[in-house]
């Protein structure tokens, strides 16, 4: 939120907000000085990052670019199986984003209004799926945040996904944070089939948690979805077919030759480094901040991604390092780009 964005005081506020803050100007012992988010990321080791399984990675290709979605079979196995089959069948190719509602969601699928006009789901798919709103918490590695949350007894991360947990009921579920991908349904809990998918583009609508099946989240490309013109029909549906946003294709990464895949690494959420990063955002220590929040909301925790660093094959060590560094700077929220 800088007033002058090219002065020497440039952008401290937002550099801080983005975790690329100056080091804190504190008088603490050198060893005790908290690191900024950028310093933490720069110090990350290869093991702090993970490469999403290509079988869980969906490419939504629009005219404006590619959106990367990671599926969550640990929470929605039946939906994920259907979505994989639908992608293999090319089900969505040539369909469209039909809805963009401000401060809420975008949604795509078959725009046909009558069942008889709808495209067949194709082979390997199921017409009917169970509700997968929550699952047993037992046996699930849950990296709990210490921060209070009004929507869930506990919040944290499961394999990189923001999640809620109720120890008393032994349930866990994926949270509707920015970038969450869910499966639209009718009134019946088991009325979703994975063909109509929505993505959260607004203030986290956590009231949907435990009410609908979340199938994954956007890792990269949110800025392609969040800018789609808001539909002027009820619920943000586009009133004219010509307003719909064409989908070139939705494909499973594992179905594509390697050279057509988009390389991406995601910061692990089960490491000491991640905990340090969360703390750097919970209490911002750079000089721009005058008040430390002492808190972070589940949906404000950054989930950085990056292009995999170049491998230092036959290159001199120093050169390889210099190459890798700038590419590790993809700090930001789900779906952020390297420019954020």
- Could you tell me the CA-to-CA distances from 13 to 9, 17, 76, 279, 286 in Å, in that order? 9, 6, 39, 18, 9
Quote the least distance from Cβ 55 to a second copy, whole Å. Answer: 25
The C-alpha angle 53, 54, 55, rounded to 5 degrees, equals 90
Nearer to a second copy, 124 or 153 (CB): 153
Q: What's the closest the beta carbon of residue 116 comes to a second copy, in angstroms?
A: 12
CB of 229: closest distance to a second copy in angstroms? 6
Comparison of 31 and 241: residue with beta carbon closer to a second copy: 241
Is 178 strand, coil or helix? coil
Quote the least distance from Cβ 44 to a second copy, whole Å.
21
Instruction: In angstroms, give the least distance from the CB of 203 to a second copy.
Output: 5
Nearer to a second copy by Cβ, of 9 and 256: the residue is 9
Cβ distance 304 to 338 under 8 Å? no
- Least spacing, CB of residue 317 vs a second copy, in Å: 29
Answer for the pair 251, 262: CB distance below 8 angstroms, yes or no: no
Angle at 82 between CA 179 and CA 306, to 5 degrees: 35
Nearest 5 degrees, angle CA 17-CA 214-CA 67?
Answer: 60
Stretch (H or E) spanning 40: helix 37-42
Select from 339, 321, 323 the least CA-distant residue to 331: 339
Minimum CB distance to a second copy, residue 178 (Å): 5
On whether the CB atoms of residues 74 and 159 are closer than 8 A, the answer is: yes
Q: How far is the CB of 310 from a second copy (least distance, A)?
A: 22
Nearer to a second copy, 251 or 284 (CB): 284
The distance in angstroms from the start CA to the end CA of the chain is 14
77 or 202: whose CB is closer to a second copy?
202
CA distance 13 to 313: 39
Phi, psi dihedrals of residue 281, rounded to the nearest 5°: -95, -25
Q: What is the DSSP letter of 248?
A: E
Nearer to a second copy, 6 or 31 (CB): 6
CB nearer to a second copy: give 89 or 337.
337
Residues 6+ apart with CB under 8 A from 44: 267, 273, 328
CB nearer a second copy, residue 168 or residue 187: 187
């Amino acid at each position: 939120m800088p007033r002058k964005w090219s002065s020497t005081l440039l952008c401290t506020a937002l550099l801080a907000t983005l975790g690329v803050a100056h080091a804190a100007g504190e008088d603490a012992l050198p060893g005790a000085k908290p690191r900024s988010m950028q310093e933490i990321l720069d110090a990350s080791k290869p093991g702090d990052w993970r490469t999403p399984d290509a079988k869980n990675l969906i490419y939504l290709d629009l005219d404006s670019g590619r959106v990367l979605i990671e599926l969550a079979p640990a929470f929605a196995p039946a939906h994920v199986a259907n979505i994989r089959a639908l992608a293999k069948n090319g089900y969505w190719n040539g369909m469209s984003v039909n809805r963009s509602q401000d401060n809420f969601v975008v949604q795509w699928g078959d725009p046909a209004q009558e069942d008889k006009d709808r495209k067949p789901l194709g082979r390997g798919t199921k017409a009917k799926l169970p509700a997968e709103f929550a699952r047993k918490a037992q046996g699930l590695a849950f990296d709990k945040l210490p921060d209070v949350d009004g929507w869930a007894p506990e919040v944290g991360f499961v394999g990189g996904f923001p999640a809620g947990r109720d120890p008393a009921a032994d349930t866990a579920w994926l949270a509707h944070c920015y970038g969450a991908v869910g499966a639209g349904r009718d009134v019946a809990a088991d009325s979703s089939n994975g063909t109509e998918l929505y993505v959260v583009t607004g203030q986290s609508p956590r009231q949907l948690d435990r009410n609908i099946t979340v199938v994954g989240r956007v890792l990269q490309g949110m800025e392609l979805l969040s800018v789609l013109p808001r539909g002027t029909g009820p619920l943000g549906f586009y009133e004219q077919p010509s307003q719909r946003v064409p989908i070139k294709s939705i494909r499973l990464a594992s179905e594509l030759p390697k050279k057509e895949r988009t390389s991406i690494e995601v910061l692990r959420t089960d490491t000491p480094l991640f905990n340090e990063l969360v703390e750097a955002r919970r209490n911002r220590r750079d000089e721009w901040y005058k008040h430390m929040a002492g808190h972070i909301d589940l949906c404000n925790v950054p989930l950085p991604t990056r292009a995999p660093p170049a491998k230092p094959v036959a290159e001199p060590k120093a050169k390889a390092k210099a190459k890798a560094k700038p590419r590790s700077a993809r700090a930001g929220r789900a779906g952020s780009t390297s420019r954020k």
